Amino acid sequence: MPIIAVILMLVSRRARANGPAFLVGWIAGLALIGVIVLLIVQPTHAGDESGPATWISVLELVAGVLLLVVALRQWRSRPLGDDEPVTPKWMGAIDAFSPGKALGAGAVLAAANPKNLLLSIAAAAEIEAVGLSGGQEAVAYAVFALIATIGVAAPVAIFFAMGDRAGLMLAGLQTWMARNNAVIMAVLLLVIGAKLIGDAISGFST
């Protein structure tokens, strides 16, 4: 959905301002989650040489199970046959967004979206479980946030690289993403959820 949202902004009247503003808001939202989670868990010394603390394994297990539940819901919500994919009503107002609203939408979709929130918390927990220093944790989470931004940043890069020629390509990408979003997310959440559960079981056994 964030990729669909940014594409809609890139074909709106304020594309040159709203696209980058959305991207900045997205990065800020991911950073906010990372700062909050890492500040909360840092004083607890979540890991040592023998392995991660038990509560980190519990957090991984809970996050993994929740991701599997969300994956199942995503799979069940996929459009079948000629059914039109359902998109949030607020996306219909994107054409009238100001840069401030675009920035806010990016931050909300990054930090308040349940799927993104779970994935970001899980990433912070995985980083904390390694037992790195505060600076190393910040760098590791920054790498995660950078990778998590590629999908949202790609349409913006295409728009500025291709100019007016990008319209048709972005419209096709938007249609494809809207059609396949549920299936893509279901598979990704299933894989990540299964990995977190495996990590949690491994942590309990050490």
CA pair distance 126, 148, nearest whole angstrom: 15
Closest CA to 65 of 185, 195, 182, 202: 195
What is the average per-residue pLDDT within 131-155? 86
Residue 51 pairs with which residues in a beta bridge?
Answer: 48
Contacts of 188 (CB under 8 A, 6+ apart): none
The pLDDT of residue 44 is: 55
What is the average per-residue pLDDT within 72-88? 75
Q: How confident is the model at residue 80 (pLDDT cuts 50, 70, 90)?
A: confident
The pLDDT of residue 27 is: 92
- The average confidence (pLDDT) of the chain is 81
Residue 163, both tokens: 């100019």
The pLDDT of residue 78 is: 79
CA pair distance 99, 84, nearest whole angstrom: 29
Three-state DSSP state, 52 = strand
The pLDDT of residue 87 is: 66
Residue 70, both tokens: 């969300």
The pLDDT of residue 28 is: 92
What is the average per-residue pLDDT within 73-90? 74
| Phi, psi dihedral angles at 203 (to 5 degrees) | -65, -35
